[in-house]
């Protein structure tokens, strides 16, 4: 199983590094590993956070889910900051471990790379599926 570590991703500009510090590793089944973007400063509760949970599925399947939350805050005229909403990006993978390791590797790599490709990202940003 993977060892907990901090993760750095690229910002929308494709060059800026966005660090997510490791907060807590998973202690077992269905308990999420947690990360937070502490470099952003401000109130910790309003910083970007990520979770990854793994659990047993049916038969020889396992399900992993990542959830990244981007709080949307507003500052009132008195300087008080409150969270008014949040963007959430969730990915779910159900992998059948009765397949070969190379089959599993290809499914995970191609599936996650597809979601990260330009057209699916544009669809998420605009809120509409590509049309013919």
Tens-digit pLDDT profile for residues 13-52: 999 999 999 999 999 999 999 999 999 878 899 999 999 9
- Is residue 51 in a domain? yes
31 within domain boundaries: yes
3-state SS string for 25-79: CCCCCCCCEEEECHHHCCCHHHCCEEEEEEEECCCCEEEEEEEEEEEEEEECCCC
**Residue 126 is assigned to a structural domain of this protein:** no
- Domain limits at 69? 7-99
Which secondary structure element, helix H or strand E, spans residue 126, and what is its range?
Answer: helix 118-126
pTM of the model: 0.90
pLDDT tens-digit profile of 12-24?
999 999 999 999 9
Residue 18, domain CATH: 3.30.380.10
- Domain presence at residue 130: no
When divided into structural domains, the chain yields a total of 1
- For residue 1, the model assigns a pLDDT of 80
């Amino acid at each position: 199983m993977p060892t907990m570590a901090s993760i750095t991703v690229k910002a929308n500009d494709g060059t800026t590094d966005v660090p997510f510090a490791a907060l807590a590793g998973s202690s077992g089944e269905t308990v999420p590993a947690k990360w937070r973007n502490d470099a952003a400063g401000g109130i910790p509760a309003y910083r970007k956070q990520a979770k990854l949970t793994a659990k047993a599925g049916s038969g020889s399947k396992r399900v992993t889910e990542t959830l990244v939350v981007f709080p949307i805050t507003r500052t009132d005229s008195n300087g008080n900051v409150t969270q008014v909403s949040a963007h959430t990006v969730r990915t779910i993978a159900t992998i059948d471990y009765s397949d070969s390791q190379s089959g599993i590797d290809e499914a995970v790599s191609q599936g996650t790379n597809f979601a990260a490709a330009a057209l699916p990202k544009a669809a998420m940003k605009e809120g509409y599926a590509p049309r013919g």
